[in-house]
Amino acid sequence: MDNTHGDIVILTGAGISQESGLETFRDKGGLWSKVNIEDVATPKAYQNNPRKVQQFYNNRRRRMLNGLIKPNCAHNALAKLENEWLSKKWGKVTVITQNIDNLHELAGSENLIHMHGEILKARCQKCGYIFTCNMDLGFGEVCAGCDRINVLRPHVVWFGETPLEMERIYGLLEKCKLFISLGTSGTVYPAANFIQFVGSSPNVYTIELNMEPSNGATLFDETRYGLATDLVPLVVEELLTCGIPQKITSRI
Ligand code: APR
User: Which ligand 1 atom is nearest residue 30's CA?
Assistant: 21
DSSP 38-105: HHHSSHHHHHH-HHHHHHHHHHHHHHHHTS-----HHHHHHHHHHHHHHHTTS--EEEEE---SSHHH
Side-chain half-sphere exposure of 246, counting CA atoms within 13 A: 7
Query: How remote is the C-alpha of 192 from its chain's centroid?
Result: 12
Cα–Cα distance between 37 and 107 in angstroms, integer? 29
26 alpha carbon – ligand 1 mean position (Å): 7
Take atom 13 of ligand 1 and give the residue whose Cα is closest. Answer: 211
Q: What is the pLDDT of residue 219?
A: 96
What are the φ/ψ torsions at residue 96 (nearest 5 degrees)? -105, 110
Contact present, 251 and 11 (Cβ < 8 Å) = no
Q: Which of 18, 22, 96, 235 to mutate to test the pocket of ligand 1 (most atoms within 8 A of CB)?
A: 18
Cα–Cα distance between 176 and 70 in angstroms, integer? 29
Give the number of other CB atoms < 10 A from CB of residue 130.
Answer: 14
Cα–Cα distance between 3 and 203 in angstroms, integer? 8
212 Cβ below 6 A of ligand 1:
yes
Q: What is the pTM of this model?
A: 0.97
Q: Which of 118, 211, 235 to mutate to test the pocket of ligand 1 (most atoms within 8 A of CB)?
A: 211
Q: What is the pLDDT of residue 251?
A: 53
Mean pLDDT of successive 10-residue stretches along the chain, which has 252 residues: 87 98 96 97 97 98 96 98 98 98 98 98 97 95 96 98 98 97 97 94 95 97 98 98 86 53
37 alpha carbon – ligand 1 mean position (Å): 15
Catalytic (active site) residue 155: no
Asked whether the CA dihedral 83, 88, 92, 98 is positive or negative, the reply is negative
Contact present, 158 and 42 (Cβ < 8 Å) = yes
